Amino acid sequence: MTESFRQKSNRRVAGWLSLWVVGMFGFGYALVPLYDIFCEITGLNGKSATLTEVSAKPLEIDRSRTVTVEFAVNVSGIPWEVDRPETVRLKVHPGESMTVTYAAHSLTDALSAGQAVPSVSPARAARHFRKTECFCFTRQELAPRESKLMPVTFVVDPALPEDVKTITLSYAVYPAKDIEPANS
């Protein structure tokens, strides 16, 4: 065991451990897509890929059940007023396609753009709540003082668990960033 041998092996250990550190830093970032995938698969967290999915064949309407859908919206950091649909609570049969309309009003004298981020609760219902048309799919631009109607068309999948009687669809409207819109 000479001194130089020991130094070499110290450096080797340090090298391997540093690689590990870099790997763990990368793992931190890898958690982001992993988290999204996990949420998509399980439909947790109110976001789900199936939200945007347009089903090929129309779903069968289950007239024996009624589900109450509630609508909510709040605005953050952008000079807009957004009204929820006139019917705040809507009774629907699973499989039935419905359209409701939100209304946005710009309160500024400048051009403004907003992005709505939807969220569905309870989380278990998220994967069964399908939006076929939504103002949240793209960023919304409003001219100065413009008002705009923003429709949402949705259908509740009949596969929704029996015990879910009420679903809340809530939007948060933020100033649009120059990035991809939310994938839901």
User: Which residues of the shown chain bind other proteins in the complex (CB under 8 A)?
Assistant: 6, 9-10, 13-14, 17-18, 20-29, 31-32, 35, 42, 44-45, 47, 76-77, 115, 117, 121, 123-124, 172, 174-175, 177-184
Residue number with CB closer to other proteins (101 or 121): 121
How wide is the angle at C-alpha 91 spanned by C-alphas 57 and 82, nearest 5°? 95
Which residues are 115's β-sheet partners? 174
**Closest separation between CB of residue 9 and other proteins, Å?**
5
Q: Whose Cβ is closer to other proteins: residue 94's or residue 118's?
A: 118
- Report in angstroms how near the CB of residue 108 gets to other proteins at its nearest: 17
Separation CA 110–CA 28 (nearest Å): 40
Residue number with CB closer to other proteins (26 or 58)? 26
129 close to 120: Cβ distance less than 8 angstroms:
yes
Kindly report the backbone phi and psi dihedral angles of residue 94, in degrees, each rounded to the nearest multiple of 5, phi listed first. Answer: -55, 140
User: What minimum distance in Å lies between the beta carbon of 127 and other proteins?
Assistant: 12
Whole-angstrom Cα distance, residue 25 to residue 67? Answer: 45
Cβ proximity to other proteins, 22 vs 107, nearer residue: 22
Task: For 139-148, give one letter per residue: b (16+ CB within 10 A) or e.
Answer: bbebeeeeeb
- Token digits for 99? 């359209």
Tell me how far, at minimum, the Cβ of 69 lies from other proteins, in Å: 19
Q: Which is nearer to other proteins, 39 or 92 (CB)?
A: 39
| Edge-to-edge strand ranges of the sheet holding 89-92 | 89-92, 67-75, 166-175, 112-121, 140-142
Shortest distance (Å) from residue 141 CB to other proteins: 16
